[in-house]
Amino acid sequence: MVEGRSGEVNMTAKGYPEIHTYKWSKSGSFIPRRTDGYDQLPGVTMEGPVVFFNQVSRHDSGAYTCVAQNVEGSASATLTLNVLYPAVIFNITENVEVSEGESVQLECFADGNPLSEDTITWRRQGSSGTQLVSVNSEPGHSILTISNLTRNDGHVLECVADNGVGNPSIRTAHVTVLCK
């Protein structure tokens, strides 16, 4: 599910005699019953075999177990909720001064779900999407290296984090080339 959205899952069990109780839990904690006050609040509630996800957050991700019970015994099933949320840059190399002829490394860190090696890209500010190649990239972390800088390489660069969920996150890095 995408963060902020709502949904429900029905895990109705069949048995003889009829099922008389359902219990839902996540990580050993029981999910509260849905009541009139809970149906509008964000979070997870249950009513019998149905678990309700209302305005889910990333913290609602995880394994949910439903136990159905009758007088003969019980059976359980588990579902995994994966909450997707937009990529957000939380740290970037912002200002760098470097002498002409030297190299510079810029780093950008992002969080989001999902994250892949191509979630983070770099570009010159004002360019029409021309990407710069980052040599070291892993999910949520990218290092851009620019070698043998000249006085013309002083730019404002943009780190763009986009995982396809929501809007991209963009932060800038200023590269100043010092020269004689």
- Do both 67 and 115 map to the same domain? no
138 compared with 22, residue with greater pLDDT? 22
Domain ends where: 58, 81, 104? Answer: 81
| C-alpha closest to that of 171 among 180, 160, 156 | 160
Q: 137: pLDDT confidence band, cut at 50, 70 and 90? A: confident
136-138 and 131-132 as β-strands: parallel, antiparallel, unpaired?
unpaired
- Answer whether 30's CB lies under 8 Å from 45's CB: no
Q: Is the pLDDT of residue 44 over 70?
A: yes
- Do both 77 and 90 map to the same domain? no
- The verdict on residue 100 lying in a domain is yes
- Do both 105 and 71 map to the same domain? no
- Do both 143 and 161 map to the same domain? yes
Please state, in angstroms and rounded to a whole number, the distance separating the CA atoms of residues 92 and 75.
49
- The verdict on residue 2 lying in a domain is no
Domain ends where: 55, 81, 107? Answer: 81
What are the angstrom distances between the C-alpha of 105 and each of 134, 139, 170, 175?
10, 18, 18, 10
| 81-95 burial: b if 16+ Cβ within 10 Å, else e | bebbbbbbbeebbee
Domain ends where: 81, 112, 130? Answer: 81
Q: 152: pLDDT confidence band, cut at 50, 70 and 90? A: confident
Q: What is the pLDDT of residues 91-121, one digit of tens each?
A: 999 999 999 999 899 999 999 999 998 899 9
Please count the structural domains in the chain: 2
Q: What is the pLDDT of residues 159-179, one digit of tens each?
A: 999 999 999 999 999 999 998
Q: 130: pLDDT confidence band, cut at 50, 70 and 90? A: low
Residue 169, domain extent: 86-178
Would you state the pLDDT for residue 134? Answer: 66
- Do both 70 and 119 map to the same domain? no
Would you state the pLDDT for residue 131? Answer: 66
What are the angstrom distances between the C-alpha of 160 and each of 59, 143, 147?
24, 12, 21
pTM greater than 0.85: no
155 compared with 67, residue with greater pLDDT? 67
